[in-house]
Structure 1
Amino acid sequence: MTNNMLRILPLTILIVLPFIAFLNSLNNDFVYDDVFTVTDNYFIRDWGNFRDLFTSEYFKLSGEATYRPLVTISYFIDYSIGKLNPIGYHLTNLLSHAVAVILVYFITSAVIRKKTVSFMAGMFFSMHPILTETVNAISYREDLLTTVFFLGALLLFINSTKNFHRYLLLYPASLFLYLFALCSKEMAITLPLMVFLFDWILGDSAQIKKNAVRYYIGFLAVSIFYLLIRFVLLHNPAEGQLTYPEDSFFVNMLTMPKVVAAYIKLLFIPVHFNAEYMIAHTTTPLAPAFLCSMVFLCVAGIIACRFYFYSKPFFYFTVWFFVTLTPAMNILPIANIMAERYLYLPSVGFCIILALTIHSAWEKGCALLFFKKSDAGRKTTKGYSLLSGSKEAMVKQKNLPQTIMIVLLIAIPVIPYSVTTMHRNRCWRDQFIFWSTTVQDSPYSARAHNNLGMIYFGKGDIDPALHEFQTSVSLEADPEYRHNLGMAYQRKGMQQEAMQEYLLVLGANPDSALTHNNMGNIFISLGNIDEGIMKFKEAIRLKPHYYDAHFNLGLALFKKGLLNDSIEEFRLAVKYEPDHPEVHSCLGTAYANAGMIEESIRAYNETLRLQPNYITAYKNLGMVYLTYKKDIQRSIAYFQEFLKRNPDGDEAAEIRRTIEKIQAAQKTNK
Structure 2
Amino acid sequence: MLHRVKNYFPEKIDSFLLVPVIILFAFIVYSSSLNSSFVWDDIILIVENPSIKTFKVFDNVFSRDFFDIYGDAIEFKYGYWRPVITLSYMVDYLIWGLNPSGFHLTNILLHIFNCLLVYFILLKDFRNWVVPFIATFLFAIHPIHTESVSWVAGRTDVVAATFFLLSFLLFQKSINDEGRLKAKFYIFSILVFSLAMVSKEMVIILPAVLIAYRYFIPENGYMYEKLKKSILLGMPYCIVVLVYIFIRFGVLEIKATKNVENNPLFEFYPTLLSFIKSVTVYTGKLFYPVNLNAYIQNPPSGSIFEPMVFLSICLLTVFLVALVKTKNRKFSFYSLFFLLTFFPLSNFLRISAPTDMGFVMAERFLYIPSIPFVVLIAMPVAYLAKNRKSLQFVIFVIMAAITLFFSFRVIARNRDYKDDEVFFTKTIQQSPTAPLLYQCLGNFYIRNGMNDEALFSYKRALIFFPGFFSTKNNIGTIYTKMGLKEEAIAEFKGAIEINPSYLLAYYNLGTLYGEMGDYDKAVRVFETALKINSEYIRAHNGLGIIYAKKGEFEKAKKEFERALKIEDSNRYARYNLDLIKKMKGIPSEEVIQK
Is this a same-fold pair by TM over 0.5?
yes
Bigger CA drift: 526-535 or 168-177? 526-535
Is the contact between residue 513 and residue 543 of structure 1 (CA under 8 Å) also seen in structure 2?
no
Question: In the alignment, which of 106, 127, 134 is matched to residue 120 of structure 1?
Answer: 134
Bigger CA drift: 84-93 or 205-214? 205-214
SS at match of 1:272: coil
Alpha-carbon distance in structure 2 between the residues aligned to 1:288 and 1:262: 12
Change (3 A) 1:587 1:214: closer
Kindly report which structure 2 residues correspond to 1:205-244, keeping only aligned pairs within 5 A, or say none. Answer: 205-209=223-227, 211-212=229-230, 214-243=232-261, 244=263
Give the AA of the match of 1:35.
I
Alpha-carbon distance in structure 2 between the residues aligned to 1:164 and 1:351: 27
Counterpart for residue 343 of structure 2: 326
Question: In the alignment, which of 507, 515, 524 is matched to residue 517 of structure 1?
Answer: 507
Is residue 421 from structure 1 mapped to residue 410 from structure 2 by the alignment?
A: yes
Is the contact between residue 510 and residue 525 of structure 2 (CA under 8 Å) also seen in structure 1?
yes
Give the AA of the match of 2:17.
L
Alpha-carbon distance in structure 2 between the residues aligned to 1:439 and 1:142: 24
Is the contact between residue 79 and residue 255 of structure 2 (CA under 8 Å) also seen in structure 1?
no
Kindly report which structure 2 residues correspond to 1:518-557, keeping only aligned pairs within 5 A, or say none. Answer: 518-536=508-526, 542=533, 556-557=546-547
Question: In the alignment, which of 10, 13, 25 is matched to residue 21 of structure 2?
Answer: 13
RMSD: 3.6
Is the contact between residue 462 and residue 488 of structure 1 (CA under 8 Å) also seen in structure 2?
yes
Bigger CA drift: 27-36 or 357-366? 357-366
Alpha-carbon distance in structure 2 between the residues aligned to 1:233 and 1:421: 42
- Residue deviations 1:578-636, cap 9 Å, x none? 9xxxx99x999989974589xx9xx99xx9xxxxxxxxxxxxxxxxxxxxxxxxxxxxx
Is residue 153 from structure 1 mapped to residue 167 from structure 2 by the alignment?
A: yes
Alpha-carbon distance in structure 1 between the residues aligned to 2:302 and 2:486: 41
Alpha-carbon distance in structure 2 between the residues aligned to 1:270 and 1:291: 23
SS at match of 1:48: coil
Change (3 A) 1:207 1:426: farther
Alpha-carbon distance in structure 2 between the residues aligned to 1:574 and 1:233: 23
Is the contact between residue 208 and residue 234 of structure 2 (CA under 8 Å) also seen in structure 1?
no
Question: In the alignment, which of 276, 288, 295 is matched to residue 257 of structure 1?
Answer: 276
Alpha-carbon distance in structure 2 between the residues aligned to 1:270 and 1:184: 26
Question: In the alignment, which of 139, 151, 157 is matched to residue 143 of structure 1?
Answer: 157
Counterpart for residue 108 of structure 2: 94
Alpha-carbon distance in structure 1 between the residues aligned to 2:347 and 2:472: 27
Is residue 315 from structure 1 mapped to residue 339 from structure 2 by the alignment?
A: no
Is the contact between residue 200 and residue 208 of structure 1 (CA under 8 Å) also seen in structure 2?
yes
Question: In the alignment, which of 270, 275, 283 is matched to residue 294 of structure 2?
Answer: 275
Counterpart for residue 287 of structure 1: 306
Give the AA of the match of 2:294.
A
SS at match of 1:47: coil
Alpha-carbon distance in structure 2 between the residues aligned to 1:406 and 1:284: 41
SS at match of 1:242: helix
Q: CA deviation at 1:7?
A: 4.2
Alpha-carbon distance in structure 2 between the residues aligned to 1:39 and 1:291: 45
Counterpart for residue 375 of structure 2: 352
Counterpart for residue 26 of structure 1: 34
Alpha-carbon distance in structure 2 between the residues aligned to 1:567 and 1:82: 38
Q: Which has more radius of gyration? A: 1
Q: CA deviation at 1:318?
A: 2.3
Change (3 A) 1:126 1:57: closer
> What runs of 5+ residues in structure 1 fail to find an aligned partner?
370-401, 608-670
Counterpart for residue 455 of structure 2: 466
Question: In the alignment, which of 90, 110, 123 is matched to residue 109 of structure 1?
Answer: 123
Change (3 A) 1:237 1:323: closer
SS at match of 2:56: helix
> What runs of 5+ residues in structure 2 fail to find an aligned partner?
1-11, 71-75, 354-359
- Residue deviations 1:504-534, cap 9 Å, x none? 4334543433211211133124321233245
SS at match of 1:420: helix
Kindly report which structure 2 residues correspond to 1:435-584, keeping only aligned pairs within 5 A, or say none. Answer: 435-476=424-465, 477-536=467-526, 542=533, 556-561=546-551, 565=556, 576=570
Is the contact between residue 553 and residue 566 of structure 1 (CA under 8 Å) also seen in structure 2?
no
Change (3 A) 1:52 1:58: farther
Give the AA of the match of 2:381.
I
Alpha-carbon distance in structure 1 between the residues aligned to 2:436 and 2:388: 50
Is the contact between residue 513 and residue 538 of structure 1 (CA under 8 Å) also seen in structure 2?
no
Q: CA deviation at 1:442?
A: 0.7
Is the contact between residue 297 and residue 431 of structure 2 (CA under 8 Å) also seen in structure 1?
yes
Q: CA deviation at 1:348?
A: 0.6
Is the contact between residue 189 and residue 223 of structure 1 (CA under 8 Å) also seen in structure 2?
yes
Change (3 A) 1:545 1:131: farther
Question: In the alignment, which of 44, 47, 51 is matched to residue 43 of structure 1?
Answer: 51
Is the contact between residue 71 and residue 145 of structure 1 (CA under 8 Å) also seen in structure 2?
yes
Kindly report which structure 2 residues correspond to 1:155-194, keeping only aligned pairs within 5 A, or say none. Answer: 155-162=169-176, 167-194=182-209
**Higher RCO by CA contacts (8 Å cutoff, separation 6 or greater):** 2
Count residues with an aligned counterpart: 557
TM-score by length of 2: 0.83
Alpha-carbon distance in structure 1 between the residues aligned to 2:90 and 2:387: 52
More helix by share: 1
Identity %: 28
Change (3 A) 1:566 1:19: farther
